[in-house]
Amino acid sequence: EVQLVESGGGLVKPGGSLTLSCVASGFTFSHYNMNWVRQAPGKGLEWVSCISGSSAYIYYADSVKGRFTISRDNAKNSLYLQMNNLSAEDTALYYCTRDSIMAYWGQGSLVTVSS
Amino acid sequence: ETVLTQSPGTLSLSPGERATLSCRANQNFSSNSLAWYQQKPGQAPRLLIFGASTRIPGIPDRFSGSGSGTDFTLTISRLEPEDFAVYYCQQYGSARTFGQGTKVEIK
């Protein structure tokens, strides 16, 4: 069974940093590109970033480019999102998803940016 | 960046009625690389359709996708009570983007 489990969310002050993690199981992690997708409270879905299986290709939404860094450790079946210079607009539930066609989603990790 | 615009924002319909949801892109993207998702409150989105028109196994055949180029449509032929939810389109031909969503609510 495919499972994606996010962690690392929490309350952070504006300008602060946070790193999210996603541990994958039930499939060969290195064979799939992975994404981070976020959803602000009461709002729609926003794709944040994706990374190919070998980390050769990485893309970011314009809204996070230069502030967020996606990475993965295939030996640990883990996906990461380093988030710097956070603002209130980054407050959201952050989902880890598998592949371009997102059939699998984690339960999400809540990031709240507030003073 | 490929921008997806969904319309209408809200669709008020009764069970048994037909729902037609639109998703329009500001530019072409490759190979009809468009998916549709359903999201209910408190749940993660669920994939319904990919490749613009291919239904995921287990998705009822009242859900159908169509379109190409920059104009795509999700049709729910006869709404069941469990279909009232928010629907998102997503392109995966040029990085990834989501539309802003269409809420299908009970009239």
Q: Which residues of A touch B (CB under 8 A)?
A: 35, 37, 44-47, 50, 59, 61-62, 95, 100-103, 105-108
How many whole angstroms separate alpha carbon B47 and alpha carbon B8?
20
Locate the chain A residue with the closest alpha carbon to B6: A44
- Percentage of chain A modeled with pLDDT above 70: 100
Query: Taking CB atoms and an 8 Å limit, are B45 and A50 in contact across chains?
Result: no
How many whole angstroms separate alpha carbon B103 and alpha carbon B46?
15
Locate the chain A residue with the closest alpha carbon to B87: A44
DSSP letter for A84, please.
-
Query: Position of tokens 């499939």?
Result: A27
Chain A contact probe: residue of B3, B38, B92 with most A CBs at under 10 A: B92
Total beta-carbon pairs less than 8 A apart between chain A and chain B: 49
pLDDT-derived band at B28, boundaries 50, 70, 90: confident
The pLDDT tens digits of the residues spanning A54-97 come to 999 999 999 999 999 999 999 999 999 999 999 999 999 999 99
Q: Which residues of B touch A (CB under 8 A)?
A: 1, 33, 35, 37, 39, 44-45, 47, 50, 56, 86, 88, 90, 92, 95-101
Q: Shortest CA distance to A102 belongs to which of B5, B7, B94, B50?
A: B50
The pLDDT tens digits of the residues spanning B37-94 come to 999 999 999 999 999 999 999 999 999 999 998 999 999 999 999 999 999 999 999 8
How many whole angstroms separate alpha carbon A35 and alpha carbon A18?
17
Query: Taking CB atoms and an 8 Å limit, are B96 and A101 in contact across chains?
Result: no
Query: Taking CB atoms and an 8 Å limit, are A45 and B37 in contact across chains?
Result: yes
Query: Taking CB atoms and an 8 Å limit, are B90 and A106 in contact across chains?
Result: no
